[in-house]
Amino acid sequence: MKVALVGIGKIAVDQHVPAIANSDDWELSATVSRNGSVEGVPAFTDLGEMLSAHPEVRVVSLCLPPVPRFDSAMQALRAGRHVMLEKPPGATIAECHALDAAAREAGLTIYATWHSRHADMVAAAKDWLAKRRLRRMTVTWKEDVRRWHPGQAWIWEPGGLGVFDPGINALSIVTEILPDDIHVASAELDVPSNCQTPIGARIAFHHPKGAEVTATFDWRQDGDQIWRIEAETDDGTLTLADGGAVMAVDGTPTGTAAPLSGEYPRLYAEMAALVTKGRRDMDLRPMVLATDALALGRRIATDPFHD
């Protein structure tokens, strides 16, 4: 299947290009980006021009930041192309519903990808939790923003999500592995005085069966980077560490890794399957939790942030 990549920035270069290059299912036919390109691949700066010049491109994979993504996604759908969306699938929930409706009406696939759900041990953790009663879940996502998002101004602008940009990865795993739906009960947001989005967040969730579920996201982490979910149950404690790559029960490593190797090869395999079956996948639960935390969260002004 021929695919075009739109928005040649960090994630396109780090993950999408190699995942496509190493797959027998996919061929990168074109890129659309104002400044970026991929060696040996026809490069465009305008999406409309690419769509006209490459009618054989069946899938457009959007790696733009969330705010500019809607217009490009709608343009691709109107041109009859299947669409794959980086996380988060849009800047607002209504936008995502509009894209899903447009895809449905046109008989096209749209896939809101959540790459962290495809980390090695997420499926194994889901299986393990399905058979147990949850008492407490503690989510800790602490990383150094300067290391992972150097020079990315959009993350601090409205719609950029701030620390929820990585935090939504944790929420995508939580909503995947928990058998019951949770919702935000309260939140505190640390917002640098010169930014529009939070650098830290603490969230408490309501769990329908009374488990205590909390999350801490922080972008000011020095030293060890932490992407960990701990779930205490009536039959042991599960730890999902390194963003879902490592699983342990009561401290003992366990679980079998998902098939294929790597989150992005799994995403592209899933997209190929969705297109082949004529299906859509627009699960907005992580987005609902993030936007509700931003709506409900008490804002605490903190030191200005300078990259």
Closer Cβ to ligand NAP, 119 or 211, answer by number? 119
Two tokens, residue 195: 């930014």
- Biggest CA-to-CA distance, the chain: 59
Closer Cβ to ligand NAP, 20 or 231, answer by number? 20
Residue 210, SS3?
Answer: coil
Helix axes 285-296, 164-177, angle to 10 degrees: 130
| Residue 232: φ, ψ to 5° | -90, 125
Cross-strand pairs, 231: 137, 238
Reply yes or no: is the peptide bond before residue 18 cis, omega within 30 of 0. no
Reply yes or no: is the peptide bond before residue 88 cis, omega within 30 of 0. yes
Closer Cβ to ligand NAP, 12 or 177, answer by number? 12
CA distance 49 to 31: 11
Q: Collect all residues with Cβ–Cβ distance below 8 Å to 285 and sequence separation of at least 6.
A: 171, 175, 181
Closer Cβ to ligand NAP, 128 or 227, answer by number? 227
CA proximity to 28, closest of 52, 48, 50? 50
Closer Cβ to ligand NAP, 50 or 63, answer by number? 63
* Catalytic sites, residue numbers: 87
Residues lying near ligand NAP in the complex (CB under 6 A) are found at 7-12, 33-36, 63-66, 68, 86-87, 115, 148, 152, 154, 165
**Cα dihedral sign, 81-63-91-166:** positive
Residue showing the smallest CB distance to ligand NAP in the complex? 9
Q: Give me the least distance between CB of 168 and ligand NAP, in Å please.
A: 8
Number of neighbouring beta carbons within 10 Å of residue 256: 11
DSSP state of 41: S
CA distance 84 to 67: 16
Q: Give me the least distance between CB of 39 and ligand NAP, in Å please.
A: 15
Closer Cβ to ligand NAP, 215 or 290, answer by number? 290
